[in-house]
Amino acid sequence: MNHITFHDAAIAFEPWLEPTPAELDAIERETPLTTARIELLDAQISVLDRPVTELDERRIRRARRRVLAARTALTNHAATAVSPTGGAA
């Protein structure tokens, strides 16, 4: 059995374990995709226990398009952030 000691718990909240500015920027860039995925999942869950109506189909299609648009934007941002030589811009 693996036990967590007081020392382990105290280290978990050390200030140097906070996310770096680069990690926070990455999270911020990925937020629209995460939000779009949540909206798609919500639309899909809403029709699990009932027949799918035309309005439901439109809601799911719209949510899928948002996910694709967010993925495209994130991919395009990543592609422009790297220069042709492989280094960061």
Quick check: is 6 in a domain? no
Rounded to two decimals, what is the model's pTM? 0.69
For residue 1, being part of any structural domain is answered with no
35 located within any domain: yes
> What is the rounded CA–CA span in Å between residue 14 and residue 20?
13
pLDDT value of position 14: 67
Residue 59 structural domain: 20-81
Number of domains in the chain: 1
Distance CA 38, CA 28 (A): 16
**Is residue 89's pLDDT more than 70?**
no
pLDDT digits (tens, 9 = 90+) for 2-35: 676 766 666 666 666 788 889 899 999 999 999 9
The answer to whether residue 72 is domain-embedded is yes
